[in-house]
Amino acid sequence: MNRPRTDARRHHDPQVRGFASDNYAGAHPEVMAALALANVGHQAAYGEDAYTENLQAIIRGHFGASAEAFPVFNGTAANVVSLQAVTDRWGAVICAESAHINVDEGGAPERMGGLKLLTVPTPDGKLTPELIDRQAWGWEDEHRAMPQVVSITQSTELGTLYTPDEIRAICEHAHARGMRVHLDGSRISNAAASLNVPMRMFTNAVGVDILSLGGTKNGALLGEAVVVLNQDAVRHMKHLRKLSMQLASKMRFVSVQLEALFAKDLWLRNARHANEMAQRLAEGVRAVHGVEILYPVQANAVFARLPHEVTERLQKRFRFYFWDEAAGDVRWVCAFDTTEDDVDRFVAALKEEMARYTP
């Protein structure tokens, strides 16, 4: 048999790593190996394959016997489809003002999901029962979109974490008012690794109804999943996924990636490493005079404030983003493949650029 011919060439330097996002990282080698394993022969389409079937058992092991996973292509879809599944056409979603669904989904919850977002300013990216009540009102007012869901993010967009007790309090508060709770878990693995608890301890065990389970930021090539935790809360999930253009014909290639991550401990190994690199980065940054770390470093992201011109020079050496350009705030994110040398070189560069800065 002739070997297949390929003209593919590498167009980047594989030694270059930055701190812009964990989305910049490639796929973990174990995930790539799982994809190759699944890429032989034929399997039934549209989720009737053996890999998607096995994924259900893995998800139940993490999130309880009633949990059910619906693989989708990306995190925006996971969030929008999840929220559609627990709202009526007139429903609204309460979320933090800084939530990804509000600031980084390109209007998808509103335009594609038909959802009204009721946002609340928070000091650290976290909602509380008291903050929720700023928007949890007017259920019988036909002039106002009806609050039906509280959406929280774990870890938050500011890199902070909810404790299991904090999420339990939110769920009890929301459920007492007839609302459901959605958890955006694009970085749920980093949260579990930092809290040192199983994912179920701050999801189904404390009352979360539906979950966006992240894979891409933690070593997958692509793919997330909507995980239904409370079957009584969700309607027509299969139809919503198809309607939202998220039903993969070759679903085995999404499912096998999640299987590779969550069947054993790859998800945890990757997340722990990314978190450890963020702690190393924060430790180095704290030693640099004139740079302020803005929030507790609890997952794999560091938020800092430094002079604008220093940021611009540093960005020519390493990729990362402004978080609030007017204030001089930036975000640095570590990934499963970030090395100690990456961190140390970045801190050294930061020190050099700060030394050049003249106020």
Q: pLDDT per residue over 205-231, tens digit each?
A: 999 999 999 999 999 999 999 999 999
Helix (H, G, I), strand (E, B) or coil at 54: helix
Rg of the chain in Å (alpha carbons): 21
The reported pLDDT for the residue numbered 359 is 84
What span, in angstroms and rounded, lies between the C-alpha atoms of 52 and 43?
11
For residue 262, is pLDDT > 90? yes
The CATH number given to 266-356 is: 3.90.1150.10
Phi/psi of residue 284, nearest 5 degrees: -70, -40
Q: Kindly state the greatest CA–CA separation across the chain.
A: 71
Looking at domain 29-262, its CATH architecture is: 3-Layer(aba) Sandwich (3.40)
Helix (H, G, I), strand (E, B) or coil at 254: helix
Task: Tell me the two tokens of residue 189.
Answer: 């693995």
Residue extents of the structural domains in the chain: 29-262, 266-356
Q: Is the peptide bond before 244 cis (omega within 30 degrees of 0)?
A: no
Cross-strand pairs, 183: 152, 211
The reported pLDDT for the residue numbered 52 is 98
Residues 150 and 209 sit within 8 Å (Cβ to Cβ):
no
The reported pLDDT for the residue numbered 248 is 97
Cross-strand pairs, 301: 333
For residue 347, is pLDDT > 80? yes
Using DSSP bridges, classify how beta strands 116-120 and 91-96 pair: parallel, antiparallel or unpaired.
parallel
Of the pLDDT bands very low, low, confident and very high (cuts 50, 70, 90), residue 235 is confident
What span, in angstroms and rounded, lies between the C-alpha atoms of 305 and 327?
8
Residues 113 and 80 sit within 8 Å (Cβ to Cβ):
yes
Sequence letter at residue 246: Q
Write the pLDDT tens digit of every residue in 177-216.
999 999 999 999 999 999 999 999 999 999 999 999 999 9
70-85 average pLDDT score: 97
